[in-house]
Chain A
Amino acid sequence: MVESKKQWKAWLYLAPALVLLAIFTVWPIFNTVRMAFLENYSGLKAAGGETFAFGIGNFKKVLEYKKFVNCLKTTALLCVATVPISTLLALLISVALNSIKPLQRLLQTIFFLPYVTNSIAIGMVFAAMFNIVGSFHGTQNEIIATAGIVNNVIEFFGGTAVNWINSGSSYAANITVMIIYIVWNALPFKILILLGGLQSINKQYYDAAKVDGSTRSRILWRITVPLLSPMLAYVIITGFIGGFKEYTSIVGIFGATMGPPDDGGRLNTMVGFIYDALSTNSQGRASAAALILFGIILVVTLINLAVSKKNTHY
């Protein structure tokens, strides 16, 4: 323990970090809460000397807003669909990666590449893959042969082309593209964490399982997954938190319209809604939405923690 006389020194060393934290983290949090509870708060009007009454009107407005409910639905849908898929895929890939010896390092690097690549850039590549390129004839829903890389592949295998993201595309098609993109984008981080977890599992458990006559799938589900459960819980919880904050991925593919050109805003998410509110100078409503999002993430995380506490071992 530091002697109390010397404690001022400790505070001195901590000061730069504390000051920055206070300005850029603590104050904004307080300010968000303050703005959320001031009726119709607007930064512009506040600068003009207007005062605002205290109340919960912002929350009411946000919840009554049809767009907000829509954003909530899209966000929740993306979360629920992508987190299990990406976690399962990451688990299988990392187990496979862990069991091969040659080229392991190289493959590890390849799988990690998306993590260090800008997600907007990746989004644009995905958009290009799903986009309809070349000549686009006929009525809106009619798709002609030169319809993007993905559609070409589908047609090569005898399927029919789908209008993924262009005007006239369906909500289901849009969401499918988003799920594929988000899963792909989420894999590297999860693989990294799970692979690290796998490599720290004592190899002797596998020898023991072998002597005990386990099949490979039994080893995976009865030994590997339980021993990996702390890591799995971590990637699932961070996956859900990240999922509720989904925004850039949609911008990456659909641009700032947050939807196909003929139906902008269709794929808007919670964070998107907050940005929109900010851009119309409705800081009060944005703050209220942010607090609602915070509440949802908190509840989901608490549920996650409760479930994982029951199912993780150690």
Chain B
Amino acid sequence: MKVVLENLTKVFPNRTKGGEDVVAVNDFSFEIPDGKLVGLLGPSGCGKSTTLYMICGLQKPSGGKIFFGEDDVTDLPPEHRGVGLVFQNYALYPHMTVKQNILYPLQNLKGEDKLSKEEMLKRTVEVAKLVQIDNLLDRKPSELSGGQQQRVAIARALVKMPRVLLLDEPLSNLDARLRLQTREEIRRIQQETGITTIFVTHDQEEAMSISDMIVVMKLGVVQQIGKPQNVYDDPANLFVAKFLGTPPINVFEGEVRGGMLFIGEDPVMAVRNVPDQKVSVGIRPEGFILDERGPLHCHINGVEVMGRDVSIVATNEASLNPVVRSIISAENKVDTSSGTVRYSIKPHKLFLFHHETEERIPFEV
């Protein structure tokens, strides 16, 4: 089932007199293809959860339309939309066992959809097997670990066979190890069921790792939509570039003069077809190459060894971040004796942004 959002807008009126209304989601249009896993990504307050709740039906949009396939569901209550929602803290009913929790949505079905008791049980067991909790059916939620509760919540959302599955910050309540495991699990379940799935996260790594597509949002406005790798490699603006990637992108003040990009006084790289102007320069940590004769010089603060990689922490006067962090292969020997390090830059890991609008400036190498 594809999901289409048309000029979706949500305005929260300000309660204090004379205050401005808050535009949580501003004119969001997007078509989510059938059977895909889409991540809504952004910092807190960017409107991603509001978008999710509008798709779910728990919040009414101030403007715009929502379609599931060809059906306009904008004015339908949640129970008639055929959505399954997994809450951030799961919202499992604490007084019911796992089995009762999963059965509950089925018991609510009325009229033609009503199922026999055997059918309900069968579906409960099926979905429990799918999320691998069929051995926990008689426990109470309080007797489960966070990861298990998460699975129960997903089972409860799936048991009605929703047209669209919605997940609100599905991994935020799990510890780091479980998070890795669970995100694979979500991917697996999504692919096995083929249900169009939308999930919300503020963790770019989480979104990048499992999504077919990501939507990056900021203050209610969509910044960029695309495949995770494409968005990472080709950010539309400085915000997107900064938001994606760990460690985050290094940003410098720079200037283009006569087709050459300068960071401080270092002529870093030739950039053709860019008029002379001040620019913000983003360089991914993996975009640095240790090079004794490289154009960019930084002062070394320290070297962090992380096994496979080495991270060099350095400073540069033109850097807009407190430190310049580069990641290079651990096979390189880093000579810290001189106190400075020189880099050359991989051209496709360097992005230019307008220094005021922060929009991307394309250039040719």
Contact = CB atoms under 8 A, between A and B. Distances in A.
Interface string A1-37: 0000000000000000000000000000000000000
A205 B77 CA distance: 17
A218 B108 contact: yes
* A-B pairs, 5 with minimum CB distance: A213-B79, A313-B95, A212-B105, A226-B95, A204-B91
Interface string B91-106: 1011110000000110
B218 interface: no
B84 interface: yes
B108 A213 contact: yes
Nearest to A202: B91
B94 A313 contact: yes
Interface string A218-230: 1000110011010
A309 to B, nearest CB: 14
B109 A211 contact: no
Contact of A212 (B79, B89, B94, B142): B79
A192 to B, nearest CB: 23
A221 to B, nearest CB: 12
Interface in A188-225: 202, 204-205, 207-208, 210-215, 218, 222-223
Interface of A: 202, 204-205, 207-208, 210-215, 218, 222-223, 226-227, 229, 313-314
Interface residues of B, number: 26
A207 B58 contact: yes
B169 to A, nearest CB: 13
Interface in B150-178: 156-157, 160
A212 B156 contact: yes
B108 A212 contact: yes
10 contacts: A204-B89, A204-B91, A208-B87, A208-B93, A210-B77, A211-B78, A211-B79, A211-B157, A215-B108, A227-B93
A250 B83 CA distance: 57
B281 interface: no
Contacts of B109: 213
B239 to A, nearest CB: 31
Contacts of A229: 95
B58 A211 contact: yes
B56 interface: yes
B207 interface: no
Contacts of B105: 212-213
Given A207-B87, A213-B80, A222-B104, 12 more contacts: A204-B89, A208-B85, A210-B58, A210-B77, A210-B79, A212-B108, A213-B79, A218-B108, A226-B93, A227-B94, A313-B94, A313-B95
A227 B95 CA distance: 7
A199 to B, nearest CB: 17
A208 B160 CA distance: 13
Interface string B137-150: 00010100000000
A268 B110 CA distance: 53
Interface in B62-97: 77-80, 83-85, 87, 89, 91, 93-96
Interface in B93-129: 93-96, 104-105, 108-109
A211 B94 contact: no
Nearest to A218: B108
A101 to B, nearest CB: 12
Contacts of A210: 58, 77-79
Nearest to A215: B108
A211 B93 contact: no
B96 to A, nearest CB: 8
Contacts of A227: 93-95
A213 B108 CA distance: 6
Contacts of A222: 104
A50 to B, nearest CB: 60
A275 B62 CA distance: 68
Contacts of B80: 213
Contacts of B94: 227, 313-314
B240 to A, nearest CB: 31
- A210, A211, A227, A313: most-surrounded residue (chain B CB, <10 A): A211
B184 to A, nearest CB: 25
Interface string B336-347: 000000000000
A214 B105 CA distance: 8
A207 B77 CA distance: 12
Interface in B45-68: 56-58
Nearest to A313: B95
B90 to A, nearest CB: 9
A226 B100 CA distance: 13
Contact of B84 (A207, A211, A313, A314): A211
B7 to A, nearest CB: 25
Contacts of B95: 226-227, 229, 313-314
Contacts of A212: 79, 104-105, 108, 156, 160
B108 A207 contact: no
A124 B245 CA distance: 76
Contacts of A205: 91, 93
Contacts of A202: 91
A222 B79 CA distance: 17
B93 A223 contact: yes
B105 to A, nearest CB: 4
